[in-house]
A = this chain, B = another copy of it.
Amino acid sequence: MERTLYHRLSGGSVDRLAAISDGIFAVTMTLLVLDLHVPVTEEVRRQRPLWSDGAVEPERALWSALTHVGPSALAFALSFLTLGMFWIGQQTQLNYCERGDRQLSWLHLTFLLGVSFMPFSTALLAEYMTVRLALLVYWLNLLVLGLLLLACLRYADRAGLLRPDREPGFTESLRRRILVAQALYLVGVVLALWNTYAGIGLIVLLQLNSAVAPRIRPFDRF
């Protein structure tokens, strides 16, 4: 009895759920940058007395050191944009939820748990970019995020939590989009079984396309 009441009372605020989601996305997306370490190069340090008269060597040494940061910076930017894509997907759902309940809160919290794993799987991929297992872990993380987002949508739909004034085809449209994106991630991974770089490259292209070129027609649905 009291269980029913508590379960009925708790988790009812979609606003609070949106607030903690924004918070966890914001922290996770920003924590990614902590993996970018300022390079410490002995060549730069050794020549410190020469800096003031415009020596070229420290510049070259730092440039060479920065090029090693490049791949990590790329992985960071891509995960940032990927999380942005999932954030847009989740907020679209939440904007159309009229109210929440305890189970919807738990589904979204589990989704957020997957979100907060992204800095780990991103760092793993950046560190071991040519080891397929690292790619697999990264892909599993994306897959779990997609599945949980689908589960959130399905639950909200069946439990009647969605706004009654939503467009017809709302649920179908969101589901199809998640499935298409996930199918393409799968293609990337299968491709990577043959050639690791090709697989990573495809995922990179898909994410860049979603982020910076949403208007190019043939790729526009991904």
A window 117-133: CB within 8 A of B: 117, 119-120, 123-124, 127-128, 130-133
Residue from B16, B134, B221 in contact with A22 in the complex, judged by beta carbons closer than 8 Å: B16
Alpha-carbon distance A174/B113, docked complex (angstroms): 25
B24 A176 Cβ-Cβ under 8 A? no
Q: Is A105 an interface residue (CB 8 A)?
A: yes
Question: Main SS of the interface on chain A?
Answer: helix
Q: Is A32 an interface residue (CB 8 A)?
A: yes
Q: How large is the interface on A (under 10, 10 to 19, 20 to 34, 35 or more residues)?
A: 35 or more
Residue from B3, B31, B88, B131 in contact with A58 in the complex, judged by beta carbons closer than 8 Å: B131
Alpha-carbon distance A173/B128, docked complex (angstroms): 48
Q: Is A71 an interface residue (CB 8 A)?
A: no
A window 6-43: CB within 8 A of B: 6-7, 9-13, 16, 18-20, 22-34, 36, 38, 40
Alpha-carbon distance A123/B221, docked complex (angstroms): 39
**Residue of B at shortest CB range from A40?**
B127
Q: Which residues of B lie under 8 Å from residue A88 when comparing CB positions?
A: 10-11, 102, 105-106
A36 to chain B, nearest CB (A): 5
Contact with B along A166-177 (1 / 0, CB 8 A): 010110111011
Can you list 12 contacts pairing A with B, beta carbon distance less than 8 Å? Answer: A5-B167, A6-B177, A9-B174, A24-B29, A27-B31, A30-B31, A32-B116, A38-B124, A59-B133, A81-B109, A88-B105, A110-B211
- Residues of chain A having any CB pair with chain B under 8 Å: 2-3, 5-7, 9-13, 16, 18-20, 22-34, 36, 38, 40, 44, 48, 51-52, 58-59, 62-63, 66, 77, 80-81, 84, 87-89, 91-92, 95-96, 102-103, 105-106, 109-110, 112-113, 116-117, 119-120, 123-124, 127-128, 130-134, 137, 167, 169-170, 172-174, 176-177, 196, 210-212, 214-215, 220-221
